[in-house]
A and B are shown apart, each in its own frame.
Chain A
C-alpha cells in the first residue's frame, strides 16, 4: 500500500517539477525581455510554440504506448508540403489542403503502426527508416521551397480574440483534444499496453491494434503541427519539420512522461514544449553570442531533462 502511495506522490512530484520549470522559464524570460508581456511578444511567442506543442502531444501518445516515433518530424514535413501544394495561395482550397494534411498524417502513422505492431520491428529503428521514406517523399512533392498559404490564414494565426492570441487558443484546443482522447477507451488501452503489454494482453486488451492506434494518433498530431507551421511561415519548405523530432522527445521527457511507456500524459508535454521554446528565447535575450547558443541550449536542455528525472529517482529510492 505504501508503494502505491509513493508512486502517486512520484507522479505528482514530476508534474510539479515540470510546472516549476515553466514558472522559472517564464520568470527568467520576462526579466530579460522588458516587453515580454506586450501583446506582440506574446502573440509571436505563442505562434512559435504551437507546432512543437502539437508534435509533442503526438509523441506523448506513442511513448505512452511503449513506442517511440522518430519519423514524426518527417511526417510534419510531408503533410505540410502536400498541403501547400494543394492550397497554393487559394483560400477556397484551404479546407481540401487541411483534409489532405490530416490524411497524410493518418496514413504515415498507420504505416508506422503496422510496421511496429505487425512486423514487430523495434520502434526506434523502424520509424527511423520510415522517416527517410517520408522526407524523401516530401522532396519529391516539393523539391525547392515555395508555394504560399492564403494571406487570411497567416493573418488569422497572428491575430488575437478579445486580447487572447489565436495561437494560445490553438494550444488550449490541443490540450482539450488530448483530454477528450484520454477519456476514450483507446487511450486507456494505450496506457495499459505501455505499462505492461503482457498483463494488458491477459486482460483482453487488443495489444497490436492499440499500438497501431497510438501511431495513427501520433500522425494526426503531426499533421496538426504541419498546419500550424504553414500558418506560421506562410510558405512550404521540404525540410521544415525535421528538426522537430528530437525536440518532441525532449518535450515529452521534460513533461514527465516515462520513455518506458504507460506513465505520464500530454499535459506535461505541452508545458515541456513551451519550456523548450522559452529556453531558446532566454538564450537570445541573455546575449549569448550566436556561436555559443547551440552549446548553451543543449546544456540547458540536459539540465531540464535531469530535473524532470529527479522525482522518479526519489520514488525509486522510497520503494
Chain B
C-alpha cells in the first residue's frame, strides 16, 4: 500500500529503449544504398507496376482491375514486366496515401491510380516522383503536375448523348436530368457540357436532380420527377442510373412517350433490347473501365524512355478517345458481344498497344 499504482521505472525504460531503437534505425538509414529500383530512365525491363484503387463498391472497378491484370499478363509473357502490385480497397484519402506509400516502398517503377480526390493526393504523388516513379491517374484527372492523367474527355462523353437526346425531343422539347453527385468533378464536367448542348438546341431543362450514380436512387428520383413534371418529353441521365430511370418510366407506362438517354451497360441494354420491339430507342456512350489498360500501355512506353508527342498531351493530361457508342445502328453488334455478361457489366474498350504507341514521338 506504500506505492501509488503509478507507472514504474520499467515502463520508462521500455519506452526509452523503444525510442532509442527507432532513433538508431532512423540514423542508420543514411548508410543505406539509397535503394528502390525506381530510378527513371529507359529500358530497365522488366518493370514492376502498382495499381492504387480506393473504391471497390462497383462492378466497374472490378472490371478495371481484371482488365488490367489480363493486359499485364501479356506483357509479362514477353518479359517486359515482372510484377503487378494491386492495392484495392474501400478507403478514404488517408488510406489511399498509405496505398501509394506501400507501392513506393515496394519499389514499383510506375503507379496507375484511380484517385479518390482531385487534390488531396498531390503530396504523396510528389513523394512518388521524388523516388523516380512514373504516376498515371485514370478515370479522374488530378491537379498534380507530377502525374500524367490518362482519361477520357468527360465533356465529350456527355455531349454525345445530350446531342442525341436534343435531336430526339427537338427544339422546345422538355427534359429532366438525373445527374450523379453534385459537386463531384466528373459530374460537373459532364453536366456543364450537356447543359450547353441543350441551351444551344433550344431544349427546356425543367429540373436537375441527383441520382448518386446508383440504379435504385435513380429509379426513385425519376419516379418523383414523373409525378412532379407530367409534360416531360425526355430524360438525360448518366451511367449507373439509366436502368433505374427506365424502370421508373416503364412503371408509369410512358416508355413510348418519354425518350431516355441510356448507358452502355448490360442491365440497361437488356431492357432496351426487350423494348425495341415497341419502337424504343436509346443511346449508350461507353465509359471504359479499360482506361487502366490504356494507362498501362502508356506507362510501358514512358518507362521505355519514350516522350509524348507534342500534339497528344495537353499540359499533363492525355485524352484517350471514347471507344464507341451503342445506338440504334450498332445495337445488334454490341448486344451480340456483351449480352451474355452479367447485368452490372460495362461495355469496355481500351487502346491497343499500337494505338497507344501513336501518342508518342
- Chain A residues within CB distance 8 Å of chain B: 4, 7-8, 11-13, 15-16, 18-19, 22-23, 26, 33-42, 44, 46, 48, 143-146, 148, 154, 158, 160, 163-165, 168, 172, 175, 182, 191-192, 195, 229, 232-237, 239-240, 243, 256, 262-265, 267-268, 270-271, 274, 280-281, 284-285, 290, 293-294
- In contact, B119 and A148 (Cβ under 8 angstroms): yes
Tell me the bound Cα distance from A294 to B93 in angstroms.
17
User: Which residue on A lies nearest to B97, using beta carbons?
Assistant: A233
CB-CB under 8 A from A34, the residues of chain B are 35, 107
**Given A37-B25, A42-B29, A144-B183, do A239 and B92 touch, yes or no (CB 8 Å)?**
yes
Flag if B93 contacts A268 (CB, 8 Å): no
Cβ-defined contact, A163 with B14, below 8 A: no
Chain B hits for A12, CB < 8 A:
8, 10-11
- Cβ-defined contact, A270 with B15, below 8 A: yes
Say whether B88 contacts A23, CB under 8 Å: no
Q: Which of B16-24, B244-252, B274-282 contacts A (4 or more CB under 8 A)?
A: B16-24
Contacts of A262 in B (CB 8 A): 5
Which residue of chain A is the closest to B33 with respect to CB atoms? A38
Q: Is the interface of B mostly helix, strand, loop or mixed?
A: helix
User: Nearest Cβ in chain A — how far from B54, in angstroms?
Assistant: 11
Number of interface residues of B (CB under 8 A): 56
Q: In the bound complex, do residue A290 and residue B94 qualify as a contact, i.e. CB atoms below 8 Å apart?
A: no
- With A175-B15, A290-B87 known as contacts, the answer to whether A11 contacts B7 (CB < 8 A) is yes
B: which residues have CB within 8 A of A?
Answer: 1-8, 10-19, 21-23, 25-30, 32-36, 86-89, 92-94, 97-98, 101-102, 104-107, 117, 119-120, 122-123, 127, 130-131, 183
Q: Which residue of A lies closest to B87 (CB)?
A: A290
In Å, the complex CA distance between A38 and B98 comes to 17
CA distance A154 to B14 in the complex (A): 32
Selected A-B contacts with CB under 8 Å, 9 pairs: A19-B14, A35-B32, A40-B127, A42-B26, A48-B101, A168-B22, A195-B5, A233-B93, A264-B7
- Verify B3–A267 contact, CB threshold 8 A: no
Q: Which of A16, A19, A164, A268 contacts B23 (CB 8 A)?
A: A164
Among A148, A235, A281, the one with the most B-chain Cβ atoms within 10 Å of its Cβ is A235
A281 vs B99: C-alpha distance in the bound complex, in angstroms? 10
Nearest Cβ on chain A to B145's Cβ, whole angstroms:
12
Indicate if the CB atoms of B18 and A19 lie closer than 8 Å: yes
Given A42-B26, A144-B183, output 6 extra A-B contacts at Cβ < 8 Å. Answer: A11-B11, A36-B105, A37-B25, A38-B29, A235-B119, A290-B87
Distance between A274 CB and nearest chain B CB, rounded to angstroms? 8
Minimum distance in angstroms from B270 CB to a CB of chain A: 29
Contact of A40 among B5, B6, B17, B131 (CB under 8 A): B131
What 7 A-B pairs come out closest when comparing CB atoms? Answer: A267-B15, A12-B10, A235-B120, A234-B123, A15-B14, A35-B35, A265-B7
Contact A48 B10 (CB under 8 A): no
Q: Which of A163, A262, A270 has the most chain B CB within a 10 Å cutoff?
A: A163
Q: Are A233 and B120 in contact (CB under 8 A)?
A: yes
The CA-CA distance from A154 to B125 in the complex, in Å, is 12
